């Protein structure tokens, strides 16, 4: 089994920064295989940042140049550094791991950006 726990969300003014953390435990073969998604009110869940098969990172167009994903393999934590935040970044942010035919999600952390 895999457990994912997000933290670091909160209320921030437009232009500010936040760093989200996703603590992973269980059968994770690599913390760098954990991706970030988000879901805004009334919208479908969307990819924010994910590792591709060649190991590069695919960022949503709306966050390119502002959000950066990283990982600490010793602590088994995946981070999402979010800079220059905009009101449209307001959403619940989730980390996700796919492995051995299963998909695991964390419980999500709320990010609210005020204008």
The SS3 assignment for 4 reads strand
Q: What pLDDT sits at residue 29?
A: 87
Q: What pLDDT sits at residue 58?
A: 96
Cα(62)–Cα(54) distance, integer angstroms: 22
Which residues does the chain have with pLDDT short of 70?
Answer: none
- CA end-to-end span of the chain: 40
Cα(39)–Cα(74) distance, integer angstroms: 29
């Amino acid at each position: 089994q895999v457990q994912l726990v997000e933290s670091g969300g909160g209320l921030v003014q437009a232009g500010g920064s936040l760093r989200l953390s996703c603590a992973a435990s269980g059968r994770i073969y690599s913390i760098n295989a954990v991706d970030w998604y988000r879901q805004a009110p009334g919208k479908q869940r969307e990819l924010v940042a994910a590792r591709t098969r060649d190991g590069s990172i695919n960022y949503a167009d709306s966050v390119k140049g502002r959000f950066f994903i990283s990982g600490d393999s010793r602590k088994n934590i995946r981070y999402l550094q979010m800079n220059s935040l905009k009101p449209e970044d307001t959403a619940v942010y989730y980390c996700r791991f796919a492995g051995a035919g299963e998909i695991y999600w964390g419980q999500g952390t709320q990010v609210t950006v005020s204008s």
